[in-house]
Amino acid sequence: MFEVKPRTGVNRCVMQLRDKILDMLKTAKSASRALASISAKDKNRALIAMARGLMKGYRYILLRNAKDLGLARKKGLPAAMIDRLRLTEARIKEMADGLKAVAGLKDPVGEVIKEWRRPNKLLIKKVRVPIGVIGIIYESRPNVTSDCAGLCLKSGNVCILRGGSEAIHSNMAIHKVITKDLARYGIPASAVSMVDIVDRKAIDELLAAPEFVDLIIPRGGKGLIRYVAKTSRVPVIKHYEGVCHLYVDKYADIKQAVDIAYNAKVQRPGVCNAIETLLVHEDIARKFLPRAAAMLQGAGVELRGCEKTRQILKGIKKAKEEDWYAEYLDLILAVKIVKDAGEAMQFINKYGSNHSDAIVTKNRKIAEEFLKKVDSACVYHNASTRFTDGYQFGMGAEIGISTDRIHARGPMALEELCTYKYIILGSGQIRMGGGYEDAKN
């Protein structure tokens, strides 16, 4: 047995990166065992301290964020990405409020989901427990750093955070202020770990370590998520793109439909729960579309329509096939006129991303059919898709919005960050024989 020495500086750098990540993973695994026994009281006190740290350190965070914004502008990043990257005092306060809200929620760890007693007097309990070590790979949005740290801490999980290079200074600043006082509450510093290496090889090391990492959650663009899903040896819960739709039925209240369409597109276009396609019933199109277009275009929205839409809204761009699949994350909206709710549902199930879709109608039967047949994580009746958000759902915050089916779907918060184990309590029972008949004895 002999050791092959690296022959180039590049190889040495790779080995150093690997060693650094490996040390972080080992420390995180050790911390997960310690964190699992921290009391709910101490976790809540730590969360309040983290919120306090954000507010005390907001000037420092904004200073580091300004550096990221300056670099982003030099690189020519799109306006929507810069908006996701930008922090303000108000957004930092929202981050702090999210941590406080998580502290106020019931601790899921140790909750008995179900219990039953067998005929042989064994008592079986199904109990929530932390997943363990969760790696979160994300892009652009620095608020993800505190949201994920808070949710993982409350649910007894260690998190390893790896943000995008465009937000490295912001993320490191947030990490610094929220972890400053963790030890005071018996929580290991490595319970909230931050990968400060922008080299993509750091991601590869996380994905190749199932002995240390229990779950990977990627949040970002389609390319990142596909890469992680294809490469990872660790289980992955995907936060895929948000190609969200609003369908305006012929029985819709027009004013309500206009308001919902405007909010779902304009309120914050660069996020995954903003609508990208507007579907309109042909019987209401001539009444609804001019009013909706006036508001949307007044806010700077570029409309791209099907041929029927362009006959009503003169001068708008023609929508191409790729527009129906597009997640613009910008002030662009594709518009299509459909003959009925059935066509709208087929369209959504074909072109959508199973994220969030909505119907506006006063017809309860049509609404119920839409809610049942549209295959998305979140479906809405007479409300904006912008509510697909852990904070808006009363979960305090979210670690992501899963478009998977197993083991979590939609906004992922405390319960979704737990798995379970069975606790079996006996009084000396032993198994005799075998099979179904034995279970009755």
Instruction: Tell me which of 413 and 254 has the higher pLDDT.
Output: 254
pLDDT of 80 reads 77
Q: What is the mean pLDDT of residues 167-192?
A: 96
pLDDT of 126 over the 90 cut: yes
pLDDT of 4 over the 60 cut: no
β-pairing verdict for 302-305 and 332-338: parallel
pLDDT of 2 over the 50 cut: no
pLDDT of 102 reads 93
Q: How confident is the model at residue 78 (pLDDT cuts 50, 70, 90)?
A: confident
pLDDT of 1 reads 35
Q: How confident is the model at residue 239 (pLDDT cuts 50, 70, 90)?
A: confident
Range with top average pLDDT, 194-203, 249-258, 391-400: 249-258
pLDDT of 5 over the 50 cut: no
Q: How confident is the model at residue 200 (pLDDT cuts 50, 70, 90)?
A: confident
Instruction: Tell me which of 401 and 347 has the higher pLDDT.
Output: 347
pLDDT of 9 over the 70 cut: no
Mean pLDDT score across all residues of the chain: 92
pLDDT of 79 over the 80 cut: yes
pLDDT of 81 reads 83
Tokens 């400060």 sit on residue:
196
pLDDT of 276 over the 80 cut: yes
- Residues above pLDDT 90, as percent of the chain: 80
Instruction: Tell me which of 440 and 48 has the higher pLDDT.
Output: 48
Up-side HSE of residue 74: CA atoms within 13 Å toward CB? 7
Q: How confident is the model at residue 398 (pLDDT cuts 50, 70, 90)?
A: confident
Q: What is the mean pLDDT of residues 157-169?
A: 96
pLDDT of 376 over the 80 cut: yes
pLDDT of 7 over the 80 cut: no
Residue 221, φ and ψ in degrees, nearest 5: -70, 165
pLDDT of 10 over the 80 cut: no
pLDDT of 378 over the 60 cut: yes
pLDDT digits (tens, 9 = 90+) for 302-340: 999 999 999 999 999 999 999 999 999 899 999 999 999
Q: What is the mean pLDDT of residues 239-267?
A: 96
Q: Is the pTM here over 0.85, yes or no?
A: no
Q: How confident is the model at residue 37 (pLDDT cuts 50, 70, 90)?
A: confident
Q: What is the mean pLDDT of residues 373-383?
A: 97
- Residues above pLDDT 70, as percent of the chain: 96
Domains and CATH numbers, the chain: 10-237+412-422 (3.40.605.10), 244-387 (3.40.309.10)
pLDDT of 155 over the 80 cut: yes
Instruction: Tell me which of 397 and 341 has the higher pLDDT.
Output: 341
pLDDT of 16 over the 90 cut: no
pLDDT of 437 over the 90 cut: no
